[in-house]
A and B are shown apart, each in its own frame.
Chain A
């Protein structure tokens, strides 16, 4: 399968915890990567591999996976976390890269 499915929109109260999910058959074979994109900016990698954060990414961002579902969790969401979030992996063949449709996170 070459599809990754995300909820279009999620909201969270300031300081609370939010989970953004991504479903796809290829996630049984590959870790998901997660990207944060703010308006007018290039995406930024926030989680990759088995819950790894690139340098400079706050530790309130974490990743997990179970079966065909990957999750990005933001523990103690901040106003600056309001953005679009995309999951990404390879397809089941391994020959192609796929993105989820994106989740718009609103911090209330």
Chain B
């Protein structure tokens, strides 16, 4: 059974860089996209970005200038960095496994079937 375990700093000051890592246990790392999602207090889910095992990425246009994701296939881990954080970045951050099959001829999206436990990140001076 695949499990995702995530960790990272929970309290940041404005202008600092948020850094989170998610480890994949019990399943294949290749063949999937690995995604980051966040949820501000009392609000809905917001997609941050995704990366596959070969390092191909897509990012939310509203966050693209501040987001970097990476993979470490030797450790079955992927990471998120969000620079220049402000109070608006305060949220619970989740990692998730995303299933998508696509090529030049078709594109099937199957959602995010495995989620990490979430990390609460607070930005405050």
Residues of chain A touching chain B, judged by Cβ–Cβ distance below 8 Å, are 29-31, 33-35, 37, 42-45, 48-49, 52, 54, 86, 88-90, 94-102
A90–B79 Cα distance when bound, in Å, is 22
Chain B residue numbers with a CB within 8 Å of A99 are 37, 44-47
Contact of A30 with B107 in the complex, beta carbons under 8 Å: yes
Give the 9 A-B residue pairs with the shortest CB-CB distance, closest first.
Answer: A33-B111, A48-B111, A97-B47, A42-B115, A102-B44, A99-B45, A48-B110, A45-B113, A30-B109
Contact of A96 among B44, B45, B61 (CB under 8 A): B61
Chain B residue numbers with a CB within 8 Å of A88 are 45, 47, 111-112
Contact of B113 with A54 in the complex, beta carbons under 8 Å: yes
B35 an interface residue at 8 Å Cβ cutoff?
yes
A88–B110 Cα distance when bound, in Å, is 10
Q: How far is the CB of A34 from chain B (nearest CB, A)?
A: 8
A52–B99 Cα distance when bound, in Å, is 13
Contact with A along B41-84 (1 / 0, CB 8 A): 00011110010000000111100000000000000000000000
A97–B35 Cα distance when bound, in Å, is 10
Chain A residue numbers with a CB within 8 Å of B60 are 96-97
A95–B102 Cα distance when bound, in Å, is 11
Chain A residue numbers with a CB within 8 Å of B109 are 30-31, 33, 89-90
Q: Do A101 and B44 contact each other (CB < 8 Å), given the known contacts A48-B113, A94-B102? A: yes
Contact of A49 with B47 in the complex, beta carbons under 8 Å: no
Residue ID in chain A nearest B110 by CB atoms: A48
Q: Do A49 and B108 contact each other (CB < 8 Å), given the known contacts A101-B44, A102-B45? A: yes
Q: How far is the CB of A31 from chain B (nearest CB, A)?
A: 6
Chain A residue numbers with a CB within 8 Å of B107 are 29-30, 90, 94
